[in-house]
Structure 1
Amino acid sequence: MGTSRMFRVFVVLGSAFMILLIIIYWDDVGAPHLYLHTPVSPGPKTPHTAPHQQPQTSRTPSFLNDIDAFVNQFLEPGTGEPTDPVPADTSNQSEKAEERYIPRREWKIHLTPVAAELRERQEQRRRLLQEMCANDSVVFPGKNRSFDDITNKELDHLIVDDRHGIIYCYVPKVACSNWKRIMIVLSESMLRDGVPQRDPLAIPRELVHNSSMHFTFNKFWKRYGKFAKHLMKVKLKKYTKFIFVRDPFVRLISAYRNKFEMRNEDFYRRFAQVMLRRYANQPTPPASVDEAFGVGIHPSFSNFIQYLLDPQTEKEMPFNEHWRQVYRLCHPCQIQYDFVGHLETAEEDAEHLLRQLRVDNVVEFPTSSRNLTSSSWEADWFSKVPVEARRELYKLYEPDFRLFGYDRPDSILNE
């Protein structure tokens, strides 16, 4: 009996020592270096076996998988994995399918560097973010809090790709569907016939926005428990972090067009009915979006702006992600982004970013032929919105304008 108790004591002490060793090793080495033995986009090389060594026949387990397995031993039952179930036909089986991998495209050799003006553009955008975050005249809720004070739920827009050391903060209505597709391809979280999906546009839209397809910061708590915040900070320090933004008012117009001028049952019941009752003299709006569209009823853009400005709106629930301010989604004063893309320069920025990440031989940014909302339409869209309401709306989104270098829309605000 005494021997058994002593054995358990040694196991506990040994486990504690291993945890300490893991943390120290993680900090000293850095996560991206731990994946060099399993690159997803290797350059051309000749297989070589060292003398007197047998060639490896299986992939060395990644350090992340090791720490996953180890840390999960100390979690309560049922808390070792993210809460969202992964669809059965899309679960990541890439290790089992390694023998069946489709060869990737031939390694690209770039004869010319990234254009100097593109590098300077990024430097200016990063510098502006730093200056605005340090500028006391730019004030908004949560600006001066620390990363530790950001709640778990507020980190659900930060998608992590451990294979390449990338963190992407997605902003709805800023090409986020295509960037999510790219993150799925890079992380190999979707298989087709046992092989990781290579074509971003072949990923169905319903899976693109399925949260189980993405490993986000808010899932760290379930997987890593008390180590979650520490690992987040390590990844933020060592990984490449990027974000894409857009003119704030044009983003609002795009959100309105997509969610309220098109048939969307969920948004109709959650938001449009509220707008119709409060601002459109519709005390009993149609029960469904089909009924409403059948009789030509939907909230106007002016009703939508009234909804955003109404103090009652955020008392009931936070802004929906499609019109929530970027500073609330991506925390640019707590997270030092390495790359800031603008939708207005999306193609140039996307090519620059993929080359900077060294994954341009694996995936290309999908070009869209859809009719995008143009900034030149702003005056028409705001023509029926009272000037005072426009100015209040600007105050609501002013931090996004200033943080990301968008001009104050004086032609709209001074009419």
Structure 2
Amino acid sequence: MMGTSRMFHIFVVLGSAFMILLIILYWKEVGVSRQYLHNPVSPGPKIANPAQHQQQQQQPQTPQTPSFLSDIDAFVNQFLEPGTGEPTDPLPAETSNQSEKAEERYVPRQEWKIHLTPVAEDLRQRQENRQRLLKDVCANDSLSFPGKNRSFDDIPNKELDHLIIDDRHGIVYCYVPKVACTNWKRIMIVLSESLLHHGVPQQDPLAIPIEVAHDDNMHFTFNKFWKRYGKFARHLMKVKLKKYKKFLFVRDPFVRLISAFRDKFEGLNQNFYQSFAKVMLRRYANHTTPPDSVDEAFAMGVHPSFLHFIQFLLDPQTEKVSPFNEHWQQMYRLCHPCQIQYDFVGHLETAEEDAEHLLRLLRVDNVVEFPKSHRNVTSTDLESNWFDTVPLEMRRELYKLYEADFRLFGYDRPDSILNE
């Protein structure tokens, strides 16, 4: 009996020790899991204003690197109790490094404030017409163009780099170069609060330098989802496309081409001269050895004409080498309107009215205003003058190349140019 009792006590002691060991291992695993969940996986800290960049490097900034959980929280909070007028984000924590002047200038965001004055009926109708047109053209078999019938899953990741996300307000913006995209990128920076000025988020869009507005590191785009979310990236894109407000701004396709040519080839732009102008000069202007420097070329009076630019666009060899540059790539190829159902389609020709309507629709008109700017000097009235040197057959080929943009976004066929 004593032997049995002793064995029983031994088993009890061993069992107790085993249970204690299991408990220790369990809590250790829980701790590791909690630590893993809170490890930062988002991009780094917010970027200081370049003018104060050196100073900001020496002073720790208030905004913290977001974690995976904060990403999820930011996503969910966009849709909790909208319309309350209450801030959805906490105020920056007070730190001894922040100047008193900066604290005085910081105005807490009053998110989800609803504009009391209703939007004019003609503006509502304008948007309904533009969105209905997109659906009709995408569903109509009479017009075909590359990628029209593919699904969103079939769009290569590299072709989603123009879709900028603002998780703070639930916004997706597809930017189209030469369609006021600089100012809209500035607005997206202000809304996302990704740029600091004297330790607080920059609130003035026009204070953001052009080079900063176009810095890829300032914007979180769909093509960056793979790095952050891995195999869940495409699913999360679809969730955000379903829940968020999506918008883009477009422009008369031919006028946009004229604007791109003027901006990139009538000035001293070394990058575009090296990458494209020299190619045009060799292929179409009989300059076998054009100067290496754009300054030297302009001094010699050597630069591509608008006709050379159109020849370059129509040349099958151009896209065999590489896809069109974003400044003259078709708008539908940049923004995929047959795969993404946009909530707002703005036109540069009605930019001021559309911008005011959009900011109210996004419920951020209390946070930011669209910058007032001079009217673009490239107008539709001057379109015919630019095409005087372009043969009629080339004009018609060019229209076919950009016909989808004309049809999708409601721009009339330019008969004055195509029927001379």
Q: Deviations over 1:277-336 (max 9, x none)?
A: 000111111111100111111100000000000000000000000000011000000000
- TM-score when scaled to structure 2? 0.78
What amino acid does structure 2 have at the position aligned with 1:34?
A: N
Among 229, 236, 243, the alignment partner of 1:238 is: 243
Distance 1:132 1:5, change over 3 A: farther
- Displacement of 1:166 in angstroms is 0.3
1:184 aligns with 2:227: no
Structure 1 equivalent of residue 6 of structure 2: none
Residue 199 of structure 2 is aligned to residue 156 of structure 1: no
Residue 301 to residue 4, structure 1, CA distance change in 2 (3 Å): farther
Correspondence 1:208 to 2:216? no
Q: Offset at 1:37?
A: 7.6
* Unaligned ranges ≥5, structure 1: 19-25, 46-57, 61-93
Q: Residue 195 and residue 148 in structure 1: after superposition, are their counterparts in 2 closer, same or farther (change >3 A)? A: same
Distance in 2 of aligned mates of 1:300 and 1:403: 29
> 5 Å matches for 1:149-298?
149-298=154-303
Alignment equivalent of 1:411, drawn from 404, 410, 416: 416
- Partner residue of 2:328? 323
Q: Larger C-alpha radius of gyration, 1 or 2? A: 2
TM-aligned CA deviation for residue 35 of structure 1:
3.6
Q: 1:342 aligns with which of 339, 344, 347?
A: 347
Do the aligned partners of residues 123 and 32 (structure 1) sit closer, same or farther apart at CA in structure 2, a change above 3 Å counting? farther
Would the aligned equivalents of 1:182 and 1:200 in 2 still touch at CA under 8 Å? Answer: yes
**2:106 alignment counterpart:** 102
One-letter code of the match for 1:394?
Answer: Y
**The one of 286, 296, 305 aligned to 2:310:** 305
Distance (Å, rounded) in 1 between the aligned partners of 2:116 and 2:77? 29
Question: CA offsets per residue over residues 217-245 of structure 1, 9 Å max, x none?
Answer: 01100000001001100000000000000
**1:389-400 → structure 2 map (5 Å cutoff):** 389-400=394-405
Q: Which residue of 1 aligns with 2:150?
A: 145
Deviations 1:222-272 (A, max 9, x none): 000001001100000000000000000000000000000011000000000
- Displacement after TM superposition at 1:339 (Å): 0.1
Partner SS state of residue 382, structure 1: helix
Alpha-carbon contact 2:171-2:246 (below 8 Å) kept: yes
Matched with 1:368 is 373
CA gap of 1:133–1:292, structure 2 versus 1, over 3 A, is: same
* C-alpha contact 1:31 1:165 (8 A) present in aligned 2: no
Inter-partner Cα distance in structure 1 for 2:74 and 2:243: 7
1:115 deviates by: 0.3
**Secondary structure at 1:383 match in 2:** helix
- Name the amino acid aligned to 1:364: E
1:80 matched residue in structure 2: none
Alpha carbons of structure 1 residues 315 and 11: separation in structure 2 relative to 1, 3 Å: farther
Structure 2 residue aligned with 1:51 = none
Counterparts of 1:2-13 in structure 2, within 5 Å, are: none
Q: Which amino acid aligns with 1:263?
A: L
CA RMSD of aligned residues (A): 3.2
Whole-angstrom distance in 1 between the partners of 2:404 and 2:376? 28
Query: How far apart in 2 are the matches of 1:273 and 1:4?
Result: 72
* Runs of 4 or more above 4 Å deviation: 1-12, 29-33, 36-39, 94-99, 104-111
Matched residues, percent identical?
70
Q: Kindly indicate whether the alpha-carbon contact (under 8 Å) linking 1:242 and 1:341 is maintained by their aligned counterparts in 2.
A: yes
Matched AA of 2:360? R
Note the C-alpha offset of 1:43.
3.6
1:368 deviates by 1.1
Matched-pair contact (CA < 8 Å) for 1:272–1:299: yes
How much has 1:371 moved relative to structure 2?
A: 4.2
In structure 2, the gaps of 5 or more residues are 1-17, 38-68
Query: SS of 2:388's equivalent?
Result: coil
Q: 1:34 to 1:389 in 2, by over 3 A?
A: same
Give the aligned partner of residue 359 of structure 1. 364
User: For residues 114 and 290 of structure 1, what CA distance do their matches in structure 2 show?
Assistant: 50
TM-score, normalization by structure 1: 0.79
- 1:155·1:217 contact (CA, 8 Å) conserved in 2? yes
Aligned-partner Cα distance in 1 for 2:285–2:375: 31
- By relative contact order (CA 8 Å, sep 6+), the higher-ranking structure is 1
Q: How many residues align?
A: 358
Displacement of 1:33 in angstroms is: 4.5
Distance 2:408 2:170 in 1: 25
Counterpart among 55, 77, 102 of residue 34 in structure 1? 77
Q: Aligned residue for 2:385?
A: 380
